[in-house]
Amino acid sequence: MAAKGESWLRSDAAQGYALISPPAIYALLLLAAPLATILAYSFFKDGYLTVIHEFTLQNYLATWSDPIFRVILVRSLFVAGLVTLVTVGLAFPIAYYLSFGLAPNQKARWIFLITIPFWTSYLIRVFLWKVILGYNGVINSALEGIGIIGPNGLIADPLQMLNSVGAIALTLAHAYAPFAILPIFVSLEKIDRSLLEAGQDLGESRWRTFLRVTLPLAMPGVVAATLIVFIPTVGDYVTPELIGGGKMPMVANLIQAQMLPLDNRPLGSAIAVSSLLVVAALALVFLWLNRRFLKVGK
């Protein structure tokens, strides 16, 4: 018995558990436990300056019966959906070019170039879009410079582009671009090139080979890219605040208002949990549809 225990301690599994435990415990304490706390708080009552630890569904009732919440949730989902569509759509050709159009020694350099903007100050990048799209911004002053905008131009007044869903979507699409490119690139890299040659040898055109071989095999990357862009964009705080000018709040702005200035943390928690559940449900439906679609495709 002792010998068995000792051999288990020397086994791969025991070594693995010993190694994984520091990061795992850290993630349990500072990620899982806090998320569980949100869940618990969403069922607590809000007192004045305190939280009363009694079970109630009041926060969820208040959340879902509030038309403002529904408008904001629908807007967040719409913006995130639009951003995902644009980002993944624009990213696919880039990923394809990186994987099929470049010599192997050039790939790392291109990926580095694409990821750099992603790692540089998010706040400042978002603010620069405000500068580009603003009333006196880069686009308007350029159009004025070439005479399209002005008393004698095609358009009398500078374009009003900020404070719109489109401007928010453009800014977010720019911010999340590399997130969409990398997963697609990885799945394209995994494709066995001889499959493509086989397709063409058997008389398929290049385009048909792409549709019937490359695209289905790249789908896992597209799915990953979709989720990795959609989920964080639903919860984006900075862009609606800066580009939407506070007039186009999304879910994160609503949550922030409840958590900090309004100090109704149970309600803020209920809003967060509700939004997260909706997003999770959408993600599961998307994954299910995709699996079904791909199976039928075979």
Partner 1 sequence: MKFPSLKIYALAYLIFLYAPIFLLPLFAFNDGTIIAFPLKGFTTDWFAKMAENDTLRHALTNSLIIALTSSAGATILAVFAARASTRYKFRAKGGIMGLIMLPMVLPDILMGMSLLLVMLEVLRVNLSIGTVILGHVIIALPYAIAVLQTAFATLDQSLEEAAVDLGETRMSTFRLIVLPLVMPGIISAFLISFTISLDEFIVAFFLAGNQPTLPTYIFSQLRFPSAIPVIMALGTCLVAASILLLSVAEFFRRRGIKRTGAKDTGGFL
34 binds partner 1 (CB under 8 A): yes
**CA-CA distance, 180 to 88, in Å (whole number)?**
6
Q: How far is the CB of 246 from partner 1 (least distance, A)?
A: 10
Q: How far is the CB of 91 from partner 1 (least distance, A)?
A: 9
Pick the piece of the chain touching partner 1 (CB under 8 A) from 16-24, 54-62, 63-71, 208-216.
16-24
Of residues 36-75, which lie at the interface with partner 1 (CB under 8 A)?
A: 37-38, 41, 51
Residue 225 burial (10 A CB sphere; 0-12, 13-18, 19+): buried
**CA-CA distance, 90 to 26, in Å (whole number)?**
37
**CA-CA distance, 182 to 225, in Å (whole number)?**
8
Q: Which residue, 208 or 297, is less far from partner 1 as judged by CB?
A: 208
219 binds partner 1 (CB under 8 A): no
How long, in residues, is the chain? Answer: 298
Q: Which residue, 197 or 297, is less far from partner 1 as judged by CB?
A: 197
Q: How far is the CB of 62 from partner 1 (least distance, A)?
A: 17
Q: Which residue, 60 or 96, is less far from partner 1 as judged by CB?
A: 96
Q: Which residue, 28 or 289, is less far from partner 1 as judged by CB?
A: 28
| Beta pairing partners, 96 | none
277 binds partner 1 (CB under 8 A): no
CB 251 within 8 A of CB 234: yes
Q: How far is the CB of 177 from partner 1 (least distance, A)?
A: 6
Of residues 171-200, which lie at the interface with partner 1 (CB under 8 A)?
A: 174, 177, 182, 185, 189
Assigned token pair, 218: 């790249």
Q: Which long-range contacts (CB under 8 A, 24 or more apart) does 124-127 make?
A: 125/174, 125/175, 126/171, 126/175, 126/238, 126/239, 126/242, 126/243, 127/242
Q: Which residue, 108 or 198, is less far from partner 1 as judged by CB?
A: 108
149 binds partner 1 (CB under 8 A): no
Of residues 74-133, which lie at the interface with partner 1 (CB under 8 A)?
A: 90, 93-94, 96-98, 100-101, 104, 107-108, 110-117, 119-125, 127-129, 131-132
Q: Give the count of alpha carbons within 13 A of 14, CB side only.
A: 8
**Cβ atoms within 10 Å, residue 90:** 13
237 binds partner 1 (CB under 8 A): yes
142 binds partner 1 (CB under 8 A): yes
Near partner 1 by CB under 8 A: residue from 137, 199, 240, 244? 137
The interaxial angle of helices 122-133 and 165-175, nearest 10 deg, is: 140
232 binds partner 1 (CB under 8 A): yes
What contacts 49, CB < 8 A, 6 or more positions away? 263
Q: How far is the CB of 298 from partner 1 (least distance, A)?
A: 25
CA-wise closest residue to 133 among 239, 252, 250: 239
